Amino acid sequence: MTAPVRFDGGTLHALCTRLYPLPRSLTGPGVDATLELLREHLAERAPGAPALERHALSSGTQIFDWRVPEQWTPRSAWIRGPDGIKRADFAAHSLHLVGYSEPVHARMSLEALQPHLHSLPDRPDWIPYRTSYYQRTWGFCLTDRERRSLPPGEYEVFIDADLGPGELAWGEILLPGETDSEILLWAHLCHPSLANDNLSGLSVATAVAAQWAGSRHRHTLRVVFAPATVGAIAWLASNGRARTNIAHALVLSNLGDAGGFHYKRSRDGDAELDRLFEHLFASGAGGEAPALEPFTPYGYDERQFNSPGIRIPAGCLTRTPHGRYPQYHTSGDDLSFISPGALADACELVWHALSALDGNRHYVNLAPFGEPQLGRRGLYDSLGGENERRENQLAMLWVLNQSDGSHSLLDIARRAEVPFERMRAVADSLLDAGLLQEESAPRRPTTTSSGAPTTGCDGSEVS
């Protein structure tokens, strides 16, 4: 079996650290700065690979049932109290300004300002994350402790921002494989300084792309970094042809915290990717107590891919899912909340899953009349110690028995309860020995080999 690929957690966390202060939103300079940094990072990590490309649609463009929103360009924002102290300064923390706040420069009493302030009374030391994309307003977020200490009196409120026609942008890397069949990795890039719910997905997807670029694969890998919801809808609306090539999509988020892995199934619940994660978790690849979650039409962008008009089977991989940790959508989701080890393990799991998808094949046994003589071909002795040999023998017998062109290696691994990588390794040995041939057009499972009508035990014809 091939050695597992290791990822460097320090590099992953360092990338998150560089991305953290950039003031991301649905649109605007934070998105462009993020894409530029990811492009540079990929060029360093995978020289020679196709560059990350920026794509954009203009504000107002119709995208299915939506329109591309206006562009928000925040520059500076703060409130200044009667004591002359600037507070909720956007330059100090990008969460201080409500996303898509309209420009304001006014003086008002603390009472008049209060409806525009947001804090978390039950978590008094964290700044909440708030946006108002589709309703024009303005506001500031601050810790509840600071809010309660605001002196009464007159406040100067200043938001220097543009909100008007512009662009909605996303970044994309396409790493061509031997076929057009694509695996899509998707991560949102619209959250400002939030580490787990944003930067972890960006960094894991980037590291996996850099690794993928360094070797040959059957599948083409497409990695997209886009603003959530409207970004996914914009991408789907402007990639009608490309999206038909996507065989599997995996949305990545919340991968840096200390929680166990969660895989959320696709809409049908039984896509190849769903069965693969079921198998990987059952065979120990997801660490301690990984969990499979049913599909729900809420969450991240998997719900756009899984919509009835699109039907791209999309799963979502996280550690602790969104909304299930107290730091979620607050300044508590900072760089100390994500760890290098958690990020590296997440990369390894994604890599493992992508490698398995890429290596999943249907085979036909070329000596299907009874068992072929494995010993004569040296297949019994070639593989490792006694236990290892026994497990490989059994795996080989499973592959030979089930390879009638209708069962994939993943199907066989699941049925035999043998890790996919072992199945793949023994299938490679059987291929080398001339006992298997790849089936390019997998067959439907059959119950008889004669082609005669199947009869039930009472002699009636079962159709």
What are the φ and ψ backbone dihedral angles of 43, each rounded to 5 degrees?
A: -65, -35
Cα separation, 68 vs 231, in Å, equals 9
Per-residue contact string for residues 158-197; x = within reach of Zn ion by CB under 5 A = ---------------------------------------x
Q: How far is the CB of 315 from Zn ion (least distance, A)?
A: 18
Q: CA angle, 217 as apex, 214 and 218 as ends, to 5°?
A: 165
Q: How far is the CB of 263 from Zn ion (least distance, A)?
A: 18
Cα separation, 446 vs 462, in Å, equals 13
Per-residue contact string for residues 194-233; x = within reach of Zn ion by CB under 5 A = ---x------------------------------------
Q: Within a 13 Å sphere around the CA of 42, how many CA atoms are in the beta-carbon half?
A: 31
Residue 240: both structure tokens together: 């009608």
User: In this complex, which beta carbon is closest to Zn ion, that of residue 190 or of residue 383?
Assistant: 190
Q: How far is the CB of 204 from Zn ion (least distance, A)?
A: 16
Q: How far is the CB of 329 from Zn ion (least distance, A)?
A: 6
User: In this complex, which beta carbon is closest to Zn ion, that of residue 197 or of residue 334?
Assistant: 197
User: In this complex, which beta carbon is closest to Zn ion, that of residue 262 or of residue 352?
Assistant: 262
Q: How far is the CB of 201 from Zn ion (least distance, A)?
A: 10
Q: Considering only residues 265 through 304, tell me which ones interact with Zn ion, judged by CB under 5 A.
A: none
User: In this complex, which beta carbon is closest to Zn ion, that of residue 21 or of residue 287?
Assistant: 21
Q: How far is the CB of 132 from Zn ion (least distance, A)?
A: 15
* Interacting residues of 312 by C-beta distance below 8 A, sequence separation 6+: 184, 243, 246, 249, 305, 306
116 secondary structure, DSSP code: G
Q: 186-218: string of b/e by CB count within 10 Å (b at 16+)?
A: bbbbbbbbbbbbbbbbbbbbbbbbbbbbeeebe
Select from 161, 296, 263, 207 the least CA-distant residue to 13.
Answer: 207
Cα separation, 225 vs 53, in Å, equals 10
Alpha carbon 237 to its chain centroid, in Å, reads 20
What's the farthest any 2 CA atoms get from each other in the chain? 94
Cβ–Cβ < 8 Å for 155, 79: yes
User: In this complex, which beta carbon is closest to Zn ion, that of residue 129 or of residue 351?
Assistant: 129
Enclosing H/E stretch for 462: none
436 secondary structure, DSSP code: E
User: In this complex, which beta carbon is closest to Zn ion, that of residue 197 or of residue 345?
Assistant: 197
Q: How far is the CB of 188 from Zn ion (least distance, A)?
A: 7
User: In this complex, which beta carbon is closest to Zn ion, that of residue 141 or of residue 399?
Assistant: 141
Q: How far is the CB of 230 from Zn ion (least distance, A)?
A: 14
Strands (E), 23-135: 53-58, 62-63, 66-67, 71-80, 86-87, 104-109, 117-118
User: In this complex, which beta carbon is closest to Zn ion, that of residue 206 or of residue 330?
Assistant: 330
Q: How far is the CB of 198 from Zn ion (least distance, A)?
A: 7
Q: How far is the CB of 337 from Zn ion (least distance, A)?
A: 14
Cα separation, 413 vs 275, in Å, equals 11
Residue 62: both structure tokens together: 């119709």
Q: Considering only residues 301 through 330, tell me which ones interact with Zn ion, judged by CB under 5 A.
A: none
User: In this complex, which beta carbon is closest to Zn ion, that of residue 327 or of residue 403?
Assistant: 327
Per-residue contact string for residues 365-404; x = within reach of Zn ion by CB under 5 A = ----------------------------------------
User: In this complex, which beta carbon is closest to Zn ion, that of residue 70 or of residue 197?
Assistant: 197
Q: How far is the CB of 147 from Zn ion (least distance, A)?
A: 23
Q: 441-457: string of b/e by CB count within 10 Å (b at 16+)?
A: ebeeeeeeeeeeeeeee
Which residue has the CB atom at the shortest distance from Zn ion?
Answer: 197
Select from 2, 13, 3 the least CA-distant residue to 206.
Answer: 13
Binding residues for Zn ion, total number by CB under 5 A: 1
Select from 216, 210, 223, 211 the least CA-distant residue to 182.
Answer: 223
Neighbours of 325 (CB within 10 A): 20
User: In this complex, which beta carbon is closest to Zn ion, that of residue 120 or of residue 425?
Assistant: 120
Q: How far is the CB of 322 from Zn ion (least distance, A)?
A: 6
Residue type at 67 in one-letter notation = R
User: In this complex, which beta carbon is closest to Zn ion, that of residue 332 or of residue 419?
Assistant: 332
Residue type at 174 in one-letter notation = L
Positions in the binding site for Zn ion (CB under 5 A): 197
